[in-house]
Chains A and B, each alone.
Chain A
């Protein structure tokens, strides 16, 4: 796991006239947040192992505008979105994969109205395809027989109807997948969506992430699998709240696959 990763940019591809198979949209959290950067790297290791010709936008990537739009700032959303659409269309991008369900939702559903039409995949869908096509193989490794519970990100599950891809990926780990009391369509939010990530919660008697983490811990799982950098942060904070860092870890689907495959 210690080899340095290689992450080519679109600018580099364009300079050689080559076209990547897919653009990896890293997202702000994936680029800047200490915890989420590990997810980006794990996903790059998977892409590299699968010999996927991919690129990132690098400096040319900018916030999709999701939090601005959910916080009511339609002007700022449009400025971000139109700028991104210009860059993406400029490179003739057709396929995009991202590890962030918020970026996924915005680019897939909200950019078409602004002239940006792409095939957009969540990384769990992409990894699932790689596994199905045999481009990467994993066996359970250290996860064999471990209890894993998956937390559905709202913007992937309820929002876009994808409940199965992350679960299919996790089943490849030969682990025991256990469901929380509220899962899939009834899954409980981590508390970060709708721009809540960037503000204090409104007054209440409990934090949403504490409520959700409690439910995850109640399954008896040692691993809480996430598919969203926002959820990941919220659940990590929840685990700390219960002082369970010793026996419960929060891992992204990509991290679990990269670790299991020793990629």
Chain B
């Protein structure tokens, strides 16, 4: 085995091990959330995933960004088929081992080239939209230094990977034309042929060309392995989680709120003393905090809400459709989800460091203010807008439940409304005896 192959294998193994470690860490964090059953109606879930995640149906609601995204997404996914060949070539020192497919191989390589150019252009346009046109939703307050850098890095990285891929093909194509040893004729190069011409590759010495080809090859493959391991630290993790996240979507009507069996049980027992009150929840044994009414911290949210948090790609479509946000209120649904993720990561780091959860004195409320929570109209424009079916309203309402039921901290007028309902059975201060008055006017 050549030294190159050994280096390649080591890099590949290292990348897989590191990535697996991080995926397991994220999985553990997601499972800190409380249980919710999202496995019913499997058929509908597969169909939804095919439409929304694979088919990008909610992306194209905004056609410019949507179509560009499909180009980049398709390009990136399909070109990665080529990685398979790159891996085999890397291990066995072969050159374009899949060329036995003949005409179909030429078709594949040709298509990859076209897609690579389109992906390159798509990413370039995204960079322009984000950093030169400065589209508003990419520059809102929650888009602090890191989220902006993250987006820039992802796009730059994809452009570099595509450049290396095309440069590698251009050098290979020229070497094949020269009849250089090892570089047997294989593949069609509709794009990189122009690139080779542009850089006048045929004037270069074969050894220089081999250098360019090898460098691009290594850059491309190491780049992909590096990119893979960048995902768990980045919003770009959505390329993986988008699929399960959509599969586990809430299928109930958007404005339906989940039932809290423990509260219902308490009230039933209060109204009918013959019904025993529900048993107190078991004390958690693994150092986790006790169950709350509503959500104080990430442990009180459902695991789906936590998966939402890791799936968010910070596109800001939710916030740009939010009536509270567009009228200057503090609430931004994207910030709610980003804060949930950042808090979950913080909790995960404590567990990593101490081996189990130890209270750090912080919670979701260290990041999310009451003013944000009370600004929501529960209109569900955000859940409608989200291309990967994230539900910020659930987090907001669970946190309101905590504020009210555990801290008695509602806005004053809402406390008055509660009292009115308790006294009159109506949110207006009219008693039941006045319920029929409208019929008499």
Contacts and interface: CB of A to CB of B under 8 A. Distances in A.
A158 B435 contact: no
13 contacts: A28-B427, A72-B294, A74-B260, A76-B422, A83-B271, A155-B255, A189-B379, A189-B381, A191-B327, A194-B378, A194-B379, A198-B427, A201-B327
Interface residues of A, number: 75
B378 A188 contact: no
Interface stretch (A14-22, A132-140, A203-211, A243-251): A203-211
A74 B441 contact: no
Interface of A: 5-7, 9, 26, 28-33, 37, 40-41, 44, 56, 58-63, 65, 67-76, 78-80, 82-83, 105, 108-110, 113-114, 154-155, 158-161, 185-186, 188-189, 191-208, 210-212
Contacts of B395: none
Given A74-B260, A74-B293, A76-B422, A154 B380 contact: yes
B40 interface: no
Interface string B407-441: 00011011011100110011110101111111101
A113 B259 contact: yes
Given A82-B267, A114-B264, A194-B378, A159 B435 contact: no
Contacts of B260: 74
B432 A62 contact: yes
B23 interface: no
B294 A202 contact: no
A70 B253 contact: no
A189 B323 contact: yes
B239 interface: no
Contacts of A109: 252-253, 255-256
A185 B379 contact: no
Contact of A154 (B379, B401, B405, B418): B379
Contacts of B259: 110, 113-114
Contact of B328 (A31, A62, A155, A204): A204
A202 B252 contact: no
Nearest to A196: B377
B434 A32 contact: yes
A195 B379 contact: no
Given A62-B426, A194-B377, A195-B414, A202 B330 contact: yes
B170 interface: no
A106 B427 CA distance: 15
Contact of B256 (A32, A105, A194, A211): A105
B208 to A, nearest CB: 56
Contacts of B439: 5-7, 41, 44
Given A114-B264, A159-B253, A211-B323, A70 B428 contact: no
